[in-house]
Amino acid sequence: MSKLQNRRILLGVTGGIAAYKAAEFLRVCQTLGAKVRVVMTPAATEFVTPLTFQALSGMPVHTKLLDAEQEAGMGHISLARWADVIIVAPASADFVARLASGMANDLLSTVVLASTKKLMLAPAMNQVMYTDEKTQQNLAKLAELGATILGPDAGLQACGDVGFGRMLEPEALAEEIMNYFHTGELAGLKVLLTAGPTREAIDPVRYISNHSSGKMGYSVAQACVEAGATVTLVSGPVQIEPPSGVETLDVVSAEDMFETVMARSKEADIFIAAAAVADYTPLNVESHKVKKNKSEIQLNLSKTKDILQKVAGLPAAPFCVGFAAETENVEEYARVKLDKKKLDMVAANLVGVEDSGFNSDNNALTVLWSNGRAELGSKPKSALAKELVTLIAKRFYEKNSV
């Protein structure tokens, strides 16, 4: 798999001479497997046409903020959410100044302000503009706020000056993005993850399922990507958007999920079973809708395959993390699950209570492993997922270093 496979890069292009190099940068990212969308400032369109970027990316190029048509398609908030990383290359002195002062007066600055994703800036400008104290202060402020400033290089400039201000070469910029994705706690590891409920058909219109929303599993998938892992998510039917940067495989029933997981389990370093898989499935699926002509009917159920147990029992099993959702005796049942299935870790949560567990945006987890435990107190699932991933990474490396 290429180093930027499935990574979503939002490329911002501003009005500078180096705008032409952004086209080459886009090509490099695509060759490495990334999906790239382009937002240009109005000034940038004076240097290179949006058509160039559209032809290269195969995607519409976004240039206007106050454009009803663009907002109806992929508007500024959707663009901000779509990206795994935003890189502005070249970043003009003017754009840097606007960002540093929190302005949102064009589409690109608005997208950046509306995003919590990693921001990288590749300044490119005349050496006097670059060394000017105001530009330096603006860059320092943005760096302090979490942006990564890439370059610039020194050398001969388009204006004939010699000094700092040349944009880094496209390959060097791509390298920086690869480093970003490969320095996290799970850098270079492959994570296979299940999430959501399963649906067990009774007849062509009815099924048995549960209240799992998939939010916890999706948050863990997102946190794994942010920690540098390559993530494959096997998901039951849910109403939420797949996390960005994740390969998502949709399944419906417990049997589908079993088949899909087993087909991918051999390549995984870590397996996280966050799905609420049905324990039982109808023995026979009626071929026609069951009629309402009896006062009582019986549904015979058979046990489904235990996906987690099967993966944990593989000869070269990945590091296995289970989730236990219980309505009582949470820790006790979770410890039994850990031992019985020979898991590396179990994240247990209480369900059936208000504002926690299934369908809620919050959760609390008790995480157990053979000789330890950790309490992750009630918080949004996204924050909880990050803490859980840190624990998983720590235990994974402890296990694999002995």
Ligand X SMILES: Cc1cc2nc3c(=O)[nH]c(=O)nc-3n(C[C@H](O)[C@H](O)[C@H](O)COP(=O)(O)O)c2cc1C
CB-CB contact of 383 with 361 (8 Å): no
The least distance separating ligand X from the CB of residue 109, rounded to whole angstroms, comes to 8
Which of 44, 233, 308, 388 is the binder for ligand X (CB under 6 A)?
A: 44
Q: Would you say 44 or 192 has its CB closer to ligand X?
A: 44
- DSSP tag of 45: G
Which of 95, 207, 258, 319 is the binder for ligand X (CB under 6 A)?
A: 95
CA distances from 136 to 38, 144, 168, 210, 324 (A): 26, 12, 17, 55, 52
Structure tokens at 3: 């180093």
- DSSP per-residue string spanning 119-176: EEEEE---HHHHHSHHHHHHHHHHHHTTPEE--PEEEE-TTS-EEEEEPPPHHHHHHH
Q: Would you say 37 or 395 has its CB closer to ligand X?
A: 37
Which of 125, 189, 325, 393 is the binder for ligand X (CB under 6 A)?
A: 125
CA distances from 268 to 121, 205, 261, 346, 357 (A): 34, 35, 10, 18, 27
Which of 57, 92, 115, 219 is the binder for ligand X (CB under 6 A)?
A: 92
7 to 26, contacts with ligand X by CB under 6 A? 14-18
Which candidate in 29, 159, 224, 320 is catalytic?
Answer: 159
The least distance separating ligand X from the CB of residue 97, rounded to whole angstroms, comes to 8
Choices 74-82, 93-101, 202-210, 224-232; region in contact with ligand X by CB under 6 A: 93-101
Which of 11, 29, 30, 41 is the binder for ligand X (CB under 6 A)?
A: 41
Report the distance separating Cα 91 and Cα 123, nearest Å. 4
Choices 88-96, 145-153, 235-243, 251-259; region in contact with ligand X by CB under 6 A: 88-96
The least distance separating ligand X from the CB of residue 110, rounded to whole angstroms, comes to 12
Which of 5, 24, 27, 43 is the binder for ligand X (CB under 6 A)?
A: 43
Q: Would you say 24 or 94 has its CB closer to ligand X?
A: 94
Cα three-residue angle 12-14-19, rounded to 5 degrees:
95
Binding mask 309-348 for ligand X (x = CB under 6 A): ----------------------------------------
Report the distance separating Cα 132 and Cα 163, nearest Å. 13
Does residue 94 touch ligand X according to CB under 6 A? Answer: yes
Does residue 138 touch ligand X according to CB under 6 A? Answer: no
CB-CB contact of 368 with 375 (8 Å): no
CB-CB contact of 342 with 312 (8 Å): yes
Report the distance separating Cα 110 and Cα 104, nearest Å. 4
Q: How many CA atoms lie within 13 A of 156 on its CB side?
A: 1
Q: Would you say 100 or 129 has its CB closer to ligand X?
A: 129
Report the distance separating Cα 399 and Cα 394, nearest Å. 9
The least distance separating ligand X from the CB of residue 86, rounded to whole angstroms, comes to 15
Does residue 93 touch ligand X according to CB under 6 A? Answer: yes
Report the distance separating Cα 100 and Cα 146, nearest Å. 12
Amino acid found at 244:
S
Does residue 56 touch ligand X according to CB under 6 A? Answer: no
Active site residue 159: yes
The least distance separating ligand X from the CB of residue 63, rounded to whole angstroms, comes to 11
The least distance separating ligand X from the CB of residue 218, rounded to whole angstroms, comes to 35
Q: Would you say 165 or 184 has its CB closer to ligand X?
A: 165
- DSSP per-residue string spanning 332-387: HHHHHHHHHTT-SEEEEEE-SSTTSSTT-SEEEEEEEETTEEEEEEEEEHHHHHHH
Q: How many residues bind ligand X (CB under 6 A)?
A: 15
Structure tokens at 35: 């999906």
Q: Would you say 12 or 282 has its CB closer to ligand X?
A: 12
The least distance separating ligand X from the CB of residue 169, rounded to whole angstroms, comes to 15
Report the distance separating Cα 311 and Cα 85, nearest Å. 33
The least distance separating ligand X from the CB of residue 75, rounded to whole angstroms, comes to 19
Sign, CA dihedral 108-110-116-120, equals: positive
Which of 124, 168, 195, 273 is the binder for ligand X (CB under 6 A)?
A: 124
Which residues in this chain contact ligand X in the complex, by CB under 6 A?
Answer: 14-18, 41, 43-44, 92-95, 124-125, 129
Write out the catalytic residue numbers: 159
